Amino acid sequence: MYKYYFRPGYQSKDLLIEVFDGAENETFVSDFFSAISEIKPEMAEVSDLWMNDEILITYDSEIGQFTLSKDIWGFAFVMAENNQNGLNLLNSILEKATLFEKVEVDFEKYK
């Protein structure tokens, strides 16, 4: 099971999804996209940030555009600065997904 927070970015009002447990699994990306397949995500752009050991994948979907960031330390973030409504819908989908568990978080920690 993957555990995630739906939280604000540090010193930001924009929300994001942080997968903090399980993102290091080889099957994470395919499991994530199976869980959200109902919104029909399609890869739009890939950026390999080798200096940060991170990959950014931007997707178009029926609920708008979002970006998945995954690093070598086992963290993954889903961000959608200009699509917060879509990110809320994505969170709603993950809340119902069998492989994902939302962990409540104190928003005050991120101010």
Task: Say how many residues make up the chain.
Answer: 111
Q: How far is CA 29 from CA 70, 71, 91, in A?
A: 9, 12, 16
Q: The whole model's pTM is what?
A: 0.90
Domain boundaries defined on the chain = 2-103
What's residue 52's pLDDT?
65
Give CA angle at 99 (109, 56), nearest 5°: 60
What are the per-10-residue average pLDDT scores of the chain (111 residues)?
95 94 93 96 85 84 95 91 94 97 92 81
What's residue 73's pLDDT?
85
Domain 2-103 CATH (choose: 3.30.60, 3.30.160, 1.10.150, 1.20.120)? 3.30.160
Instruction: Tell me how far apart the terminal alpha carbons of the chain are, to the nearest angstrom.
Output: 29
What's residue 89's pLDDT?
97
Instruction: Identify the burial level of 54 via C-beta atoms within 10 angstroms of its C-beta, where 0-12 means exposed, 13-18 middle and 19 or more buried.
Output: middle
What's residue 47's pLDDT?
86
